[in-house]
Structure 1
Amino acid sequence: MMFSLSTMNTTVQTAATGRKFPKFDLGRLLTSVFEPTYGRKVCILIDLPDLAEAKDYAFLKNPQRAVQQKAHEVFYLGLKNGVAEELALSGGEMFAYVETGGSNLDLPDRCVDMVGNELSLEKDIYPNYDLILCISTFSATAPLTAFAKQYGFRGATLHGLNDVILNSGLAVDYNDVSRDAEKLRLAMTKAEWVEIDFTVDGGEDMTVRLELGGQEAQKSHGLCRGDTPDIANLPAGEVYFVPQGAEGTFPLKYEDGTLGKLTVTGGRIIKAELIEGKQSTIDEHNRKLQDDPMTGVLGELGFGTQVLPVSGADIQDEKVLGTCHLATGRDDHLGGHITPDLFKKRQNATHDDILFAPHKTPNFDIKQARMHRDGQTMVLIEHFQPMGYLLKALEI
């Protein structure tokens, strides 16, 4: 299989994939994603548990702020030390808001600059910048997408940033990523359904079926160009659908390592059962599903399109070819109808990815993922490996 790679002489060898990546270059990233033109004004947003850490960049001394420190080291200083001038960008300021505590929860309006002055995102930031880069602990793609459309800016979300991501998923040319994503999108668009079979160590096999209704597949491909307000989620590289319904069962590995069996009906997770681990974890999930049923709605089915190393952060790892993921919760940023106001509590209105990948879920395997389209059923993935149908599509 052929991959489109930069011809730069300086490369980073990644043992996990055998693929060579160009050395990360902030100017190249911003150019390939945004094609910024003269005079565009850019800023950087970070999240902090306590905004007092923003004053005089106090967060740089806290070892628990690795993501925010990368935002400062790579993006803030990168812009300041030549990239902004190279791309004829203005601005370059950094602002902080209080971390939301969950993936894609609505953002607070209050923010501060690095002197400690209190500002408003909606009054002082969104209307006054053309490009906004949000480098945070928790994903802000959904709320920023809504604000971009309201205020007319473009931007990117890069939550969970680390060195592996910088040297692989963000070191690529997004023109190449976009081309590969489009090849796979065309191969999957207008699918009627997708079925995923799972095998679990020492447990029963499971199958979940996602009804797609012949919808047009969408892609996260990293390009955010022109004057259309939009947000790129980086690293990019996936094809995704908003399910119209779902039935069946699938396994879930919780954050504490507990394994559960989830039952889905009518497009929603209705109960969790213990496979291995803590019953209290399962009980807590069931209480949440009963108290706020919208938290169990499946709002996304996605497939990775890139050859990338494992980064330890789902934002990159879900973009790896051969993996797939589901997501629960809000999907309005994907073109769905699940908005925060439909949840019993707005704090529950997250968009939470459930990634199926060998490093993430070693206790179970994707036996097969298959798609039905145009009266035919095609195998997409077996044992976390892309099958012939996808590989052939990439060769086009």
Structure 2
Amino acid sequence: MYNDEKFPPFSLQRLMTTCFGEGQGEKLCILIDLPDPKEIEDFRFLSDESLSIQNYGYEVFYKGFKNGDLEALNYTGGDIFAYKETGGSNLDMEDDCYDPDGKHLSLEKDIYPNYQIILTVSTFSATAPLTAQAKAFGFRGATLHGLNQIIVESGLAVDYNRISDDAEKLRLGLTKADRFEIDFEVENQVTTLTLNTDQQEAQKSHGLCPRGKPDVANLPAGEVYFVPTSASGQFPFKYEEETLGLLTVEDGKIIKSRLIYGDYSLVEEHNAKLADDPMTGALGELGFGTQKLPFSGRDIQDEKILGTCHIATGRDDHLGGHLTPDLFKHRENASHDDVLYAPHKTPEIKVKQVRMYRDGEETVILENYRPAAYLLNLLKGEAVLS
């Protein structure tokens, strides 16, 4: 959508200084997840071509800090550790971790208390568990799951002061909404999902993690989001490339899926999971992208693109919600999974329109994966169209 945007060359120093501020001797480390965390010993994981994300963690951050950026930024440390991949988005991490010498360590005893900045480059998002640990131990950090070259050259190369300003303009334009309605169209059938937000204060993911406030940024950043208080209606869901289902929502939870086309066994499996552990169907987030970025093929960047929207199921405690891991029947179900609607990812699904209702007024904010005039005027700082 925005492939003609120009981005400056990636600079690790600029990214760190913008997101975390000038260094004051803070000790920093990088975490990566591996199927077998012992493979960090002597950096054996680098020979596995399937671990390209972790390779970026090594090349961009670990080597970048070791090659002089650490001292230039006035940070210390620059160490790297591996923990076992969780197998799902935002699932709690096992405590065991290892260093390149093969030493067995503990995240809670050796890492969290001893580092003031923790950067996590992983296959599976660790934002929720790390946010909880940041509040407990007082560190700051960032999660960069799914890292690839497009993200490095665009989503991590932008000026996050400007991104924060744009996100705030949109946040102010959406905050305290009563509800949102999203119209979807699949196979000439239109369905609507209503998400109530009950005049809550909108939140933003903007990439800035200033000193003095334990927090974990999600990079790339750039979205405005809400924790729905309830939801109802229907919305389409893409299981795999050739399989779509229609999900029915009541009282804030997905209660069943119906096959639109494709592999019926995927719908059966989903319905069985919903019956066994109903909290897996709870809707925990509604988000809108705020940046002009190229599509990367990774949700961490693509959900930040202006014109896209996403809904998330599962835990939302890291967003200020009440859906905590203990509410789920099975540990492996206590994930936070974004369902992204974007033209490159869900071309079979049209997001015909997204409407905001606030103070008795209806405002169109998105149409056909494009920002409506209301959002564009907010970004320009011009008077909002009525």
Q: TM-score range by the shorter chain?
A: over 0.9
Which residue does the alignment assign to 1:103?
Answer: 89
Partner of residue 169 from structure 1, selected from 150, 155, 164: 155
CA offset digits 1:146-186 (Å, max 9, x no partner):
00000000000000000000000000011010000000000
**Alpha-carbon deviation of 1:346?**
1.0
**Alpha-carbon deviation of 1:51?**
1.9
Q: 2:2·2:292 contact (CA, 8 Å) conserved in 1?
A: no
2:298 counterpart of 1:345: no
Partner of residue 185 from structure 1, selected from 152, 171, 178: 171
Greater CA drift, 170-179 or 36-45: 36-45
**Alpha-carbon deviation of 1:203?**
4.2
TM-score between both structures, scaled by the size of structure 2? 0.98
Which residue does the alignment assign to 2:315?
Answer: 330
Which residue does the alignment assign to 1:21?
Answer: 7
Partner amino acid for 1:186?
Answer: L
SS at match of 1:149: helix
Which residue does the alignment assign to 1:248?
Answer: 233
Partner of residue 235 from structure 1, selected from 207, 216, 220: 220
Measure, in 2, the Cα distance between the counterparts of 1:366 and 1:303.
Answer: 13
CA offset digits 1:279-313 (Å, max 9, x no partner):
00000000000000000000000000000000000
Partner amino acid for 1:209?
Answer: T
Measure, in 2, the Cα distance between the counterparts of 1:255 and 1:145.
Answer: 30
Greater CA drift, 51-60 or 384-393: 51-60
**Alpha-carbon deviation of 1:115?**
1.0
TM-score between both structures, scaled by the size of structure 1? 0.95
Q: 1:46·1:135 contact (CA, 8 Å) conserved in 2?
A: yes
Q: Note the aligned Cα RMSD (angstroms).
A: 0.9
SS at match of 2:7: strand
Which residue does the alignment assign to 2:384?
Answer: none
**Alpha-carbon deviation of 1:255?**
3.2
**Total equivalences in the alignment:** 381
Partner amino acid for 2:173?
Answer: A
Question: Aligned ranges for residues 31-46 of structure 1 at < 5 Å?
Answer: 31-46=17-32
Which residue does the alignment assign to 2:113?
Answer: 127
2:41 counterpart of 1:55: yes
SS at match of 2:162: helix
Partner of residue 271 from structure 1, selected from 256, 260, 274: 256
Measure, in 2, the Cα distance between the counterparts of 1:379 and 1:122.
Answer: 46
2:136 counterpart of 1:153: no
Partner amino acid for 2:67?
Answer: N
Question: Aligned ranges for residues 68-79 of structure 1 at < 5 Å?
Answer: 68-79=54-65
CA offset digits 1:340-365 (Å, max 9, x no partner):
00000111000000000001101110
Which residue does the alignment assign to 2:210?
Answer: 225
SS at match of 2:201: coil
Greater CA drift, 15-24 or 184-193: 15-24
Which residue does the alignment assign to 1:358?
Answer: 343
Q: 1:203·1:275 contact (CA, 8 Å) conserved in 2?
A: no
Partner amino acid for 1:350?
Answer: S
Partner amino acid for 1:171?
Answer: A
